[in-house]
């Protein structure tokens, strides 16, 4: 179990992020068109998993917008935004913010992603949804970088995440 905070108040998660160098846990999440999407669907690309509580918050929106902008200079790389939002809300967010370089996936049907990545919050006002984190995977889906953002109201370290795919 990891410890984070929300405005200074302690929050706990169901586990720990995957260890560096280990294979990333597979997942089945829901895409904006309601299809099931797994890790294998992104092939041998490098992946930045931008995991957020909800795109309907300013910090979560900022991270999706920032990764959308910054990933355009990275070859063979995709950004996958993971949340517990409904696919329709995620699609509306991307459409209204001009986000074209981020794949939005949700845990609408299957919440095991949060368990496998240790990110489901177990207490506090956001209990049941995912903590803010970034997980970077290489072409073989091995974990090369992780960040569990210690304060939910803070943005992740974008530069460190992007450096992990160089």
Domain boundaries, the chain: 3-163
Distance CA 38, CA 1 (A): 25
3-6 and 46-51 strand pairing: unpaired
Nearest by Cα to 131 from 103, 99, 154, 159:
154
User: pLDDT tens digits for 40-92?
Assistant: 999 999 999 999 999 888 778 888 889 988 888 889 999 999 999 999 998 88
Start-to-end C-alpha separation, the chain = 30
How are the residues of the chain apportioned to helix, strand and coil, as percentages rounded to the nearest 5?
Answer: 25, 30, 45
Residue 119's pLDDT is 96
Specify burial of residue 12 (Cβ count, 10 A radius: 0-12, 13-18, 19+): middle
Q: Domain 3-163 falls in which CATH fold? A: Glutaredoxin (3.40.30)
Distance CA 55, CA 93 (A): 7
Residue 61's pLDDT is 81
Q: Is the pLDDT of residue 5 over 80?
A: yes
User: pLDDT tens digits for 104-145?
Assistant: 999 999 999 999 999 999 999 999 999 999 999 999 999 999
Per-residue pLDDT band at 28 (split at 50, 70, 90) = very high
Residue 138's pLDDT is 97
Per-residue pLDDT band at 39 (split at 50, 70, 90) = very high
Single out the catalytic residue among 29, 60, 99, 121.
Answer: 60
Identify which has the larger pLDDT, 2 or 38: 38
Q: Please state whether 30 falls in left (phi above 0), alpha (psi between -120 and 50) or beta.
A: beta
Distance CA 25, CA 126 (A): 23
Q: Model's pTM, two decimal places?
A: 0.94
Q: Known catalytic residue: 84? A: no
């Amino acid at each position: 179990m990891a410890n984070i905070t929300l405005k200074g108040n302690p929050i706990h998660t169901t586990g720990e992020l995957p260890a560096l160098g280990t294979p990333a846990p597979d997942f089945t999440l829901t895409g904006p068109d309601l299809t099931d999407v797994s890790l294998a669907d992104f092939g041998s690309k490098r992946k930045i998993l931008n995991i957020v509580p909800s795109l309907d918050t300013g910090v979560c929106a900022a991270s999706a917008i920032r990764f959308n902008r910054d990933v355009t200079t990275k070859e063979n790389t995709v950004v996958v935004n993971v949340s517990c939002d409904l696919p329709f809300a995620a699609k509306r967010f991307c459409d209204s913010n001009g986000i074209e370089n981020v794949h939005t996936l949700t845990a609408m049907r299957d919440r095991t992603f949060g368990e496998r990545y240790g990110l489901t919050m177990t207490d506090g006002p956001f209990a049941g949804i995912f903590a803010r984190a970034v997980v970077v995977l290489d072409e073989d889906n091995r974990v090369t970088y992780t960040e569990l953002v210690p304060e939910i109201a803070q943005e992740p370290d974008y530069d460190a995440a992007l450096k992990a795919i160089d």
